[in-house]
Structure 1
Amino acid sequence: MSAITPLMPRQKVPSLSFPLVGGGTWSLSDQKPENFTMIVFFRGMHCPMCAKQLQDLESKIDDFAKRGVNVVAVSSDTEERALESKETWKLPNLDLGYGLSLEKAREWGLYISTSKGKTSTGHEEPALFSEPGLFIVRADGTLYYASVQTMPFARPHFAELLGALDFVIAKDYPARGEVVDHTNP
């Protein structure tokens, strides 16, 4: 696999599409949010931290919608594992995708891990899977915010993101971290 190249704020993000639990296909190019699309990449059904994160997100979906933010979560899990996650974790309103290729995960700058066997939930980790990431993309397809992690711990808190979005939307705050060459901004 190739080295990770971070996505840059204010630049177009890579294409992204995947099947959804329950049918249909989610595609970033089809999104027409009032303000943003938020994509939550999660490790998969084996991850208890993912369950907590997505349950928290489920409880705040309406809050994101009120701010003009479309929300989706996706992993490289199979359809069967994704369906089990949606049902077991009680995520009736969250669009949950599956089948994310590791190549696409890398294109988005995600880290890839190898299996360490069964987790505390009793589920086997896949042989390879992506670590968490959260991206907020403007309606024009450019990156606004990114959080990419090497570990399942200490993820962004959705309550804090909602507060930040209130400020960002009210003040038309620009994406930050856009400078590629600090010697020639």
Structure 2
Amino acid sequence: MMRPTPKHKAPKLQFPFVDGNTFELGKEAPEHFTLIVFYRGLHCPVCKKYLQQLEELLPDFEKRGVNVVAVSMDTEKRARLSRKDWELKNLTLGYDLDAETAKSWGLFMSEGIKDAEPDVFSEPGLFLIDNKTEVYYSSITSNPWGRPYLPSFLEAIDFILDKKYPARGELV
């Protein structure tokens, strides 16, 4: 299985948002980057905290020319509950990510082990995609922890933009 690789085109990605719009990678026009956060779903308390912090930092990402989206394999109903229960008023939240697309992004897949969990869901991933739809940065985890710390990630984006730092890890 190939994983998304820096300096190469990102895999295709399209999904609906809870606000009724649709995301399609490549049709976005970010100034610098699109930040795509794949989260496990409504059942995940670690995801709740992560997305709440992401919501708080949205203005900081926007100032840096970074569009932010989050998506899971949850159904529309579960995504709407996440939005409401987690008080995500501004974060662009998607749903219905299919397993094939999740795998094409290199995400780990898990079977539900508790009643609150879906039968199958993807584990977290965070991708920074440049405005040419090439992968700049990726972080893929096999459990809910170990994701990039968002405040220091903002500092990394400052460094990238200030120093014109190239994507790394492009050799396959």
**Is this a same-fold pair by TM over 0.5?**
yes
Take 2:114 and 2:45, find their aligned partners in 1: how far apart are those partners?
14
Output one character per residue of 1:131-165: Cα deviation in whole Å (capped at 9) or x when no partner.
Answer: 00000000001000000000111211110110000
Instruction: Give the corresponding residue for 1:62.
Output: 59
Question: Secondary structure of 1:30's match?
Answer: coil
Instruction: Give the corresponding residue for 1:139.
Output: 131
2:3 paired with 1:9: no
Take 1:157 and 1:27, find their aligned partners in 2: how far apart are those partners?
26
2:123 paired with 1:116: no
Bigger radius of gyration, 1 or 2?
1
Moved over 4 A (4+): none
Counterpart among 76, 84, 87 of residue 87 in structure 1: 84
Q: Structure 2 length normalisation: TM-score?
A: 0.98
Unaligned runs of 5+ in 1: 119-123, 181-185
2:97 paired with 1:100: yes
Counterpart among 159, 162, 165 of residue 167 in structure 1: 159
- Cα offset, 1:26, TM superposition: 1.1
Instruction: Give the corresponding residue for 1:44.
Output: 41
Deviates more, 1:19-28 or 1:104-113: 19-28
Q: Structure 1 length normalisation: TM-score?
A: 0.91
2:141 paired with 1:149: yes
Output one character per residue of 1:11-58: Cα deviation in whole Å (capped at 9) or x when no partner.
Answer: 001111100002111111211011000000000000000000000000
Counterpart among 29, 34, 44 of residue 31 in structure 2: 34
Unaligned runs of 5+ in 2: none
Tell me the matched-pair count: 172
Q: Amino acid of the residue matched to residue 15 of structure 1? A: K
